[in-house]
Chains A and B, each alone.
Chain A
Amino acid sequence: MTTNERADAPAVTTATAPIGAARLQPNEEIPTVVTEAVFETRDLSVLYSGFRAVRDVNLTIRRGEITAFIGSSGCGKSTVLRCLNRMNDLIEGASVEGEVRYRGVDLYDPAVNPVEVRRRIGMVFQRPNPFPKSIWHNIAYGPRVAGVKKKSELDDIVERSLRRAALWDEVKDRLDASAMGMSGGQQQRLCIARAIASEPEVLLMDEPCSALDPIATARVEDLMRELRDDYTIVIVTHNMQQAARASDMTAFFGVEVNPNGDRRTGMLVECDTTATIFSNPSDERTENYITGRVG
């Protein structure tokens, strides 16, 4: 793709320096057009071994906002989310059609290295998945694979990330203890701290609270609001209150039953500000879902 193509894009050009430009490799093409749109998908479809799990998603995710994906289970929210950092590459048989543009660059361009993509776009999973190592080593993992070697520098990053994730006071005396001894909520916040230690530009979260109790959930939501100033966040949730409470934009996904089979294909019904989606959605299906008429 050429960057010129993007010149007529609907997104707004900003005067600020490109986010993360300092981390671009010298031989990398520096995008000349910086848009507010962090992600734009165009007719994105994902197939699992030929089965079309989700189709024709056209979505814009803007910088500095929290975008929530809601919809019933199986409508492809996780699938679309995994396209945003190329995690679908790891699923055997998965293939992607259409385009996913990240700050103007097609993520599925053959020249794009998924490892670099994932360094810039962090992910938090549904089940907390800390490594069976010490708290310190969990946080230092990302910076280390990115090439940070000095212990003092890593110590700084560990402290900063844990503070950022509001976990420092709880764990500062036991950084050498195994992360497996933490509670589920702490583990999930550790995973968030671990993701931000790599200084990503975006955080993707796939139902990060579904394995947590209400108090731990509230803490993670608080944390998201705090992180919002520095990160673009995309969160999948099937908890509608959570979407309503925590997000700026909401994308509602639905499913349709395939005419020729029993499997269901997901699609994006609409995406708008969270206030609009929850008070005045334009699509009837959204309204039915929001008001609880359809599970």
Chain B
Amino acid sequence: MTDLSLRPAAVTIDDLAGDRNATRPDTLFSNGAKVAGYLVLVILAAIAVSTTTKAWPAFRSEGVGFFLSDNWVPSQGHFGARAIIYGTLVVSAIALVVAVPLSIGIALFITELAPRRIRSSITTVMDVLASVPSVVFGLWGFLILRPDLKDFYNGVADAVSGIPVLRSVFGESLSGQSFMTAGLIVGLMIVPIITSIVREVFQTVPINEKHGALALGSTRWEMIRGVVFPHSTGGVVGAVMLGLGRAMGETIAVALVIGASPQITANLFGQGEAMPSVIARNLNEASGNYRAALIGLGVGLFALTILINISARLLVKRANATKGAR
């Protein structure tokens, strides 16, 4: 037998320590990235704190009534924002109902169906649409869409006037300015951004898996349902959140077409009011508690966006956690 016990070849700790200088850029970079990340958080916190401070007088005098009361009469010093918050939520919900299916459909068409030529022209159209200023959307909605929509709304209202629930959701429209008009326009406005993100998410789906599904005799649609969608839930939710953020914060277009009369009504064709448009319309003339209340609306909007974002993220996390078992 040969002797296997060999003397270890000597290596000193310095040999293995490597060149410190060579790894310095790595350390610098990772520290830099950390600082940038924290900086964003600090700026966000600073905004939250300073606006909350400015809004504090209104919060203090109204208490929870600021969020729970419908009584918004600035001339009498009443600032109950519930109806305005309601308006923002309804408009955003309508916008998502319009924009999400449309965006996903366009993104699917671009990534899975369209031949290359058409693909790039749709992408261009989307980019152009994304760059149209929101005031133009608002003017278009106010001047051109509103009169036609008013007739359309009243036609629908007539048609469903005998049906219990629909009757109250699709009621009469006085001016064509309504939750619905605002929702439709904002929905159109957020289609490009959602589409472009969703498209990129779809493009990251592994081609191997797509081919695998097709080779098993899936139709394109079955492949999309079985492979593309499951891979994309997180990214699509992210895209929708971004769109929702824009919808909730959209100011000028909504201000032009929503009607500027805060009310809580099931009637989507009725007039309402939304948080950013109230702020934009009145901040210049407002002073004292009124001003504080308007800033309070901004704080509320900020909080609402963050809340929705966090819950969406948790939802995706939970969905992903249970995915393995399915």
Contact = CB atoms under 8 A, between A and B. Distances in A.
A289 interface: no
Interface residues of B, number: 22
A145 B208 CA distance: 18
A115 B217 contact: yes
Nearest to A85: B215
A28 to B, nearest CB: 15
Contact of A137 (B212, B214, B231, B326): B326
20 contacts: A90-B214, A92-B116, A115-B218, A118-B217, A120-B217, A122-B215, A125-B211, A127-B208, A129-B208, A129-B211, A130-B212, A131-B209, A132-B230, A133-B230, A137-B326, A142-B217, A145-B216, A145-B219, A145-B222, A178-B324
User: Interface SS of chain A: helix, strand, loop or mixed?
Assistant: mixed
B211 A119 contact: no
A37 to B, nearest CB: 23
Nearest to A118: B217
B323 interface: yes
B216 A122 contact: yes
A194 B216 contact: yes
Given A141-B218, A194-B216, A198-B217, 18 more contacts: A87-B214, A87-B215, A90-B211, A90-B214, A115-B217, A115-B218, A115-B219, A116-B217, A118-B214, A118-B215, A118-B216, A125-B211, A131-B212, A141-B216, A141-B226, A142-B216, A176-B325, A191-B212
A270 B161 CA distance: 78
Q: Interface size for chain A: under 10, 10 to 19, 20 to 34, or 35 or more residues?
A: 20 to 34
A20 B219 CA distance: 20
Contacts of A115: 217-219
Interface in B213-250: 213-219, 222, 226-227, 230-231
Interface string A175-195: 011100000000000010011
A125 B212 CA distance: 8
Question: Helix, strand, loop or mixed for chain B's interface?
Answer: helix
Interface of A: 85, 87, 90, 92, 115-116, 118-120, 122-123, 125, 127, 129-134, 137, 141-142, 145-146, 176-178, 191, 194-195, 198
**Which of B215, B226, B231, B326 has the most chain A CB atoms closer than 10 A to its own CB?**
B215
